[in-house]
């Protein structure tokens, strides 16, 4: 009897997995259709827990404002913290402000600075991450947690393996990122040879909004702006 119940439950799981394909396809189709109309953008990542009175919140606002003044739109994860600061800066600068929201049991809620017609909701992290990579001309990565690191290393991996075209990956905050970069160089590169020296060329470390814009402008000064694949 127990085997029959277990077998029935397993069949139900497999059926649910099959039907989930259609929901996943729907998220991709909706995302592609809406994002393809937005134009060249830069994604800003960082912690949802950063408060408005903290240094990196204000710095993110300034970075995003400079980005839209330079002619790009801004994409964030649509939630609070650094994401809110990114959309706020884009809003203040009068530029495109995109939010790619994800359903989460905590932390996540729409921030009020996203353009109403550019507010997208996702159930699946992997679909959302495709939108970030496909429609971004650069990643600006502020201090954050596991989610921020996940998005950072996925972008580096895709560029390293030539699955997408190269674009600038800019880490903002020497005090936060320097230790990680030193570990990558001393351990991954020098001690274990798990990466090549040129892989480090993908990453820029800065502290000011002016440096962010300089890197973006220098990268794109001789080329047009378009999605990466």
Q: How far apart are the first and last CA of the chain?
A: 52
Angle at 38 between CA 35 and CA 44, to 5 degrees: 80
pLDDT digits (tens, 9 = 90+) for 201-211: 989 999 999 99
Query: Whose CA is closest to 43, among 123, 116, 147?
Result: 147
Arithmetic mean of pLDDT, 53-76: 97
Strands, sheet with 97-102, edge to edge from the N-terminal-most edge strand:
119-122, 97-102, 73-76, 41-45, 139-141, 169-172, 203-206
Sorted by where each begins, the domain ranges of the chain are 38-220
So what's the pLDDT on residue 107? 57
Class of domain 38-220: alpha beta
Is there a contact between 176 and 143 (Cβ–Cβ < 8 Å)?
yes
Lowest mean pLDDT among 10-19, 20-29, 94-103, 212-221: 10-19
Q: Find the range with the poorest average confidence among 28-37, 53-62, 105-114, 134-143.
A: 105-114
């Amino acid at each position: 009897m127990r085997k029959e119940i277990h077998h029935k439950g397993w069949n139900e799981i497999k059926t649910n997995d099959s039907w989930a394909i259609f929901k996943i396809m729907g998220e991709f189709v909706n995302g592609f259709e809406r994002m393809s109309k937005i134009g060249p953008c830069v994604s800003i990542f960082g912690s949802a827990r950063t408060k408005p009175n903290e240094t990196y919140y204000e710095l993110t606002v300034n970075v995003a404002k400079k980005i839209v003044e330079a002619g790009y739109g801004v994409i964030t994860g649509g939630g609070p913290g650094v994401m809110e600061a990114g959309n706020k800066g884009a809003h203040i600068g009068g530029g495109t402000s995109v939010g790619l929201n994800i359903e989460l049991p905590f932390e996540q809620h729409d921030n009020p600075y996203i353009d109403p017609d550019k507010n997208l909701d996702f159930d699946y992290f992997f679909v959302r991450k495709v939108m970030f990579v496909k429609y971004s001309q650069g990643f600006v990565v502020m201090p954050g947690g596991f989610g921020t690191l996940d998005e950072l290393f996925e972008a580096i991996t895709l560029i390293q393996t030539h699955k997408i075209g190269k674009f600038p990956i800019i880490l903002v905050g020497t005090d936060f990122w320097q230790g990680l970069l030193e570990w990558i160089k001393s351990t991954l590169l020098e001690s274990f040879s798990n990466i090549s020296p040129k892989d480090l060329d993908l990453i820029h470390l800065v502290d000011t909004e002016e440096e962010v814009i300089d890197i973006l402008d220098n990268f794109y000064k001789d080329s047009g702006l378009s999605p990466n694949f």
